[in-house]
Structure 1
Amino acid sequence: MPFRRRAITLALGLAALAGTLPATAAEPAFPSQPIKLVVVYQPGGANDIIARVLGDRMAISLGQPVVVVNKPGASGAIGAQFVASGPADGHTVLMGGMPLVVARAMYKVPPVDFEKSLAPVGKAVNLSLVLVARKNFPGGFADVVAQERRKPGSVSMAVTASTYEFYHARINKLAHADILKVPYAGVPAAMQDLAGDRVDLLIDTLAAQKPFIESGASRPLAVFGRRRLPDLPQVPTLTELGLAGFNDQPYVGMLVPKATPQAAIQRLNSALNEALGRDEVKARMRQLGLEVAPTTPQAFLDEMRADSKRFEEVGQAAGIEKQQP
């Protein structure tokens, strides 16, 4: 065979061989190290419980440990900033959702803008919210409003997240009340004061409150959303109690730094949706009063955008002024 023909044959053979090599030979495999799953609240809350249930299952799919890291503070901003400013390689993931959405309605400049600084992985679960009172609080929600109108500021509400801060302001506006806001770094500290009769009310997820309600440590006054909750059929919605507009469906999902490669995002999304599809995960979430809600990254982003716009409109209609962060 002439030399020129042999050279061409050799070149074609090498090209064909290169085409059969796996992509991982050119690009590092993902994940290549443990995943940090950042929860912006203290251990024991709904987001923390969700993260640990999903993290355990996702670790099996990903072939790497998923370590839950709690970064509470500043109504979720500390944890969100930690992730947004971290390496954009897919190994640092934020458990986030409504606080990021509500931030645009609450602040002139959000501490973290979910579109500018983060990229969605997917929604995980829909949450159910409940307004509870300390066990010795006299009466129901109507009594809260009546007492506040007689003596503004005589009823206090523990607020553990920016979303709940926004809801606190809306309740005051719509009920023509002045319930005192008492900030807390997390649910555990708020529950200690609620149990000790040092604070009167608390907005929380049913997932976190369910054991306290069942033990009598807290007493449900109202639920959020369009309809009553199956676990609390006797508890009215805030809309039924005269506060129109509380039909929100809060949720939590996963996000990563903005520049994270799409391949890593898709890998995380697949692992998340696989976990949400497992019967044991669904059963555990149902026990907590949660509904699994797998999505694509784009669908999660679209939902957050739509809700962000709606919250801004609600805030303007309620006369809630945007704050400095």
Structure 2
Amino acid sequence: MTSEYQTTRPRFTRRRPHAFAAAAIFLLSTVAMGAARAEPDAARFPSQPVKLVVVYQAGGANDIVARVLADRMTRVLGQSVMVVNKPGASGAIGAQFVAGSPPDGYTVLMGGAPLVVARALYKNPPVDFEKSFSPVGKAVNLNVVLVARKSYPAHTFHQAVERERKQPGSSTMAVTAGVFELYFARLNRLANTQIVKVPYNGVPAAMNDINGDRVDMLIDTVAAQKPFIASGATKPLAVFGPKRLAALPDVPTLAELGLKGFEDQSYVGMLVPKGTPGSVVRKLNGALNVALADPDVKARLENLDFGVEGSTPEAFFKEMKADSDRFAELADVAHIEKQ
């Protein structure tokens, strides 16, 4: 029995390395074939329609920008760019959908502020833009304005601040989004006021209370507020960003009024799932910037009070990262409780 065991053992030992070698060769060849298939797919991009996912309902700022760009990018890419609305959970549902999609460039996120403010507002953000996405590029800046109800006693920002300082907590402000909550906190801190926050699920509900004199002020996009300002339903007190806006040339910036923390702007851009090939990202970025440079597209967006500003993927990521860090710091200083 011992002799039989000794004669079979060497044969087993000699065959084992060959088995491992065969398995290794098979594995390497499989990986190589997969890479070979993936490379032509990226080179042929796009060979099918591209989905541009908007995380809000149709009709909002992100949706408007997406539809204007989709039409022009369709002609540039030679494939349909279709806008798909996936609203819910303050943008998290749409963002998670894109993050979980194949990293092939055919599912693109139209995003910005919800991703940037996530770390500031959540203990465990539903999506981490640094880990889950690769940036394609910025599309537009969202021009933002602080408005007051028509019958609010103050007619300028300074008057509103003076009124609030004399009667702390006597003024209220509607807050409809995470980024606006952080703007609100920063405004209170820099202006040394105690304006009371009134949270809303969206601008329509907030505007009902503005029109009903139940809340005093609101932070919103110029695009959304322009009709109300034109009709006199709201009055602009100040604009956010580094300079005055062509749409509201007589309205000062918060920086002009002495609040030096509002030079940044909210924005919308495009991102794809992490792992998307660099050649695909560059092709999407090129199509985006060609669309933004188109005179008709630029005019349409600017007429809607969006600030057109393309970028490289690297510049867009750098801006998002800097803003995310700044908002996280602001939330800590303002003692905003994370959800």
Q: TM-score range by the shorter chain?
A: 0.7 to 0.9
Q: Which amino acid aligns with 1:168?
A: F
Per-residue deviation, 1:52: 1.3
Q: What is the CA deviation profile of residues 232-280 of structure 1, one whole-angstrom value per residue up to 9, with x for unaligned ones?
A: 2221222333433211132211011112222322222121111101000
- The residue that corresponds to 1:4 in the other structure is none
Matched, 1:95 2:110: yes
Alpha carbons of 1:90 and 1:306: their partners in 2 closer, same or farther (altered >3 Å)?
same
Structural mapping, 1:199-210, within 5 Å:
199-210=215-226
Q: Which amino acid aligns with 2:284?
A: L
Match of 1:106 among 95, 115, 121: 121
Q: Percent identity?
A: 64
Q: In the alignment, is the contact (CA less than 8 A) between 2:292 and 2:308 conserved in 1?
A: yes
2 CA distance for matches of 1:153 and 1:135? 20
Q: In the alignment, is the contact (CA less than 8 A) between 2:168 and 2:195 conserved in 1?
A: yes
Matched, 1:75 2:105: no
Q: Which runs of 5+ in 1 are unaligned?
A: 1-22
2 CA distance for matches of 1:59 and 1:236? 39
Q: In the alignment, is the contact (CA less than 8 A) between 2:120 and 2:338 conserved in 1?
A: no
Matched, 1:290 2:306: yes
2 CA distance for matches of 1:296 and 1:244? 27
Per-residue deviation, 1:315: 4.3
2 CA distance for matches of 1:178 and 1:81? 36
2 CA distance for matches of 1:196 and 1:59? 44
Question: TM-score, normalized by length of structure 1?
Answer: 0.82
Alpha carbons of 1:26 and 1:240: their partners in 2 closer, same or farther (altered >3 Å)?
closer
1 CA distance for matches of 2:128 and 2:48? 27
- The residue that corresponds to 1:225 in the other structure is 241
Q: What is the CA deviation profile of residues 202-239 of structure 1, one whole-angstrom value per residue up to 9, with x for unaligned ones?
A: 21122222232223232111111233223222212223
2 CA distance for matches of 1:30 and 1:187? 39
- The residue that corresponds to 1:240 in the other structure is 256
Q: Which amino acid aligns with 1:27?
A: D
Q: Which amino acid aligns with 1:46?
A: A
Matched, 1:44 2:68: no
Alpha carbons of 1:50 and 1:139: their partners in 2 closer, same or farther (altered >3 Å)?
same
Q: In the alignment, is the contact (CA less than 8 A) between 1:42 and 1:187 conserved in 2?
A: no
2 CA distance for matches of 1:25 and 1:235? 53
2 CA distance for matches of 1:170 and 1:135? 24
- The residue that corresponds to 1:158 in the other structure is 174
Alpha carbons of 1:27 and 1:44: their partners in 2 closer, same or farther (altered >3 Å)?
closer
User: Which deviates the most, 287-296 or 172-181?
Assistant: 172-181
More helix per residue: 2
Match of 1:62 among 77, 81, 92: 77
Structural mapping, 1:124-163, within 5 Å:
124-140=139-155, 141-149=157-165, 151-163=167-179
Q: Which amino acid aligns with 2:129?
A: F
Matched, 1:190 2:199: no
Q: Which amino acid aligns with 1:56?
A: D
SS in 1 for 2:129: coil
Give the length in aligned residue pairs. Answer: 301
What's the RMSD between the two structures over aligned residues? 2.6
Structural mapping, 1:26-37, within 5 Å:
26-27=40-41, 29-37=44-52
2 CA distance for matches of 1:112 and 1:228? 34
Q: Which amino acid aligns with 1:55?
A: A
1 CA distance for matches of 2:59 and 2:171? 26
SS in 1 for 2:173: strand
Per-residue deviation, 1:163: 0.8
2 CA distance for matches of 1:158 and 1:250? 18
2 CA distance for matches of 1:255 and 1:25? 21
User: Which deviates the most, 148-157 or 36-45?
Assistant: 148-157
Per-residue deviation, 1:59: 1.8
Q: In the alignment, is the contact (CA less than 8 A) between 2:182 and 2:330 conserved in 1?
A: no
Per-residue deviation, 1:110: 2.8
User: Which deviates the most, 149-158 or 118-127?
Assistant: 149-158
Asked which structure has the greater CA Rg, the reply is 2
1 CA distance for matches of 2:335 and 2:96? 24
Question: TM-score, normalized by length of structure 2?
Answer: 0.79
Q: In the alignment, is the contact (CA less than 8 A) between 2:228 and 2:234 conserved in 1?
A: yes
Q: In the alignment, is the contact (CA less than 8 A) between 2:154 and 2:163 conserved in 1?
A: no
Alpha carbons of 1:129 and 1:256: their partners in 2 closer, same or farther (altered >3 Å)?
same
Q: In the alignment, is the contact (CA less than 8 A) between 2:136 and 2:312 conserved in 1?
A: yes
Q: Which runs of 5+ in 2 are unaligned?
A: 1-36
Q: Which amino acid aligns with 1:170?
A: R
Per-residue deviation, 1:117: 0.9
Q: What is the CA deviation profile of residues 138-183 of structure 1, one whole-angstrom value per residue up to 9, with x for unaligned ones?
A: 2233343344445554433222221111011112222333333233
